[in-house]
């Protein structure tokens, strides 16, 4: 049947509604592709053209090519339960605006994209006194005080000199911030039962990204839902999600 013959046919009200819905849907889909695909290409080029940036930032932004521009319900709606569990260490759980990014960087970490170009990474560093990344793991306040960034601090600038103390129901966190290489990173350190943990909030310096303090404020809201869980040896389930 030709298009003209189709147009010449009279449609019932219900058929007209269906046709109108299909036409509107096609226009919306085409508009979404027109705005979304260039955005994903920009992210891809940014990652490929900056190999010197921190690996965890590059992995997060690269994954954002196929992530929604904003979590369903918005980046401030805490609707997903995030868990990190380990056989010999306390587990943790908190609510976040998005599910954990897949695949995980390691069994010792869990990563959440809060918006494109901004993500949160929770890492179990190990036992206090152990060696991690070539350095002895010291208590949380000392880790925050001595925090200079990757590569021995080359290319990074400390934001402020004081360590911020953040009390919470899950314990006292010690926070410090650095900036450089096109990103800003705030690390919050805490210890639990002789084990060291850190939560990093990292944002890219980009026009599409919220200010870094907004991303940190989102983590503070997530922190109000934070809870420790038993290790798998003590009955907790083994997973990172």
For residue 187, the model assigns a pLDDT of: 93
74 shares a domain with 191: yes
For residue 24, the model assigns a pLDDT of: 60
DSSP class of residue 33 equals H
Query: Across the strands, what pairs with 203?
Result: 118, 184
| Cα 33 from Cα 92, distance rounded (Å) | 38
Residue 98 inside a domain? The answer is yes
For residue 199, the model assigns a pLDDT of: 93
Q: In Å, how far are 112, 167, 178, 202, 207 from 146, measured between CA atoms?
A: 26, 20, 11, 18, 31
We report the CATH number of the domain holding residue 171 as 3.40.1000
Angle between helices 55-63 and 13-48 (to 10 degrees): 160
Pairing of β 118-127 and β 131-132? unpaired
10 shares a domain with 114: no
| Cα 230 from Cα 236, distance rounded (Å) | 5
- pLDDT tens string, the chain, 241 residues long: the values are 454 554 455 656 666 666 666 766 666 555 555 545 554 555 555 555 555 444 554 555 554 444 444 555 566 788 889 988 876 889 999 999 888 875 555 567 888 877 767 888 898 889 999 987 788 999 999 999 998 877 777 788 898 888 999 999 889 999 999 988 888 899 999 999 999 999 999 888 776 667 888 889 999 999 999 999 887 665 544 444 5
Residue 181 inside a domain? The answer is yes
59 shares a domain with 45: no
Please give the backbone phi and psi of residue 120, each rounded to the nearest 5 degrees, phi first.
Answer: -125, 135
191 shares a domain with 88: yes
**Domains of the chain: total:** 2
For residue 74, the model assigns a pLDDT of: 64
Residue range of the domain that includes 170: 55-234
77 shares a domain with 7: no
For residue 219, the model assigns a pLDDT of: 92
Structure tokens at 44: 């891809």
């Amino acid at each position: 049947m030709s298009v003209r013959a189709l147009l010449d046919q009279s449609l019932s009200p219900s058929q007209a509604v269906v046709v109108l819905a299909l036409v509107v849907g096609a226009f919306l889909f085409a508009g979404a592709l027109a705005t979304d695909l260039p955005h994903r290409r920009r992210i891809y080029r940014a990652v490929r053209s900056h190999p010197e940036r921190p690996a965890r930032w590059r992995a997060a932004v690269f994954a954002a090519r196929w992530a929604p521009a904003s979590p369903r319900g918005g980046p401030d709606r805490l609707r997903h339960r995030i868990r990190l569990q380990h056989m010999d260490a306390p587990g943790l759980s908190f609510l976040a605006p998005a599910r954990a990014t897949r695949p995980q960087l390691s069994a010792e970490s869990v990563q959440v994209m809060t918006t494109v170009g901004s993500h949160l990474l929770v890492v179990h560093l190990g036992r206090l006194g152990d060696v991690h990344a070539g350095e002895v793991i010291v208590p949380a306040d000392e880790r925050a005080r001595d925090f200079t960034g990757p590569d021995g601090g080359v290319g990074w600038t400390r934001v402020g000199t004081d360590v911020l103390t953040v009390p919470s129901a899950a314990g006292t966190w010690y926070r410090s911030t650095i900036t450089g290489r096109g990103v800003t990173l705030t690390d919050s350190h805490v210890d639990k039962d002789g084990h060291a943990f850190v939560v990093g909030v990292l944002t890219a310096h980009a026009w599409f990204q919220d200010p870094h303090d907004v991303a940190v404020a989102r983590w503070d809201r997530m922190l109000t839902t934070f809870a420790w869980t038993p290790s798998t040896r003590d009955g907790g389930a083994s997973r990172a999600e």
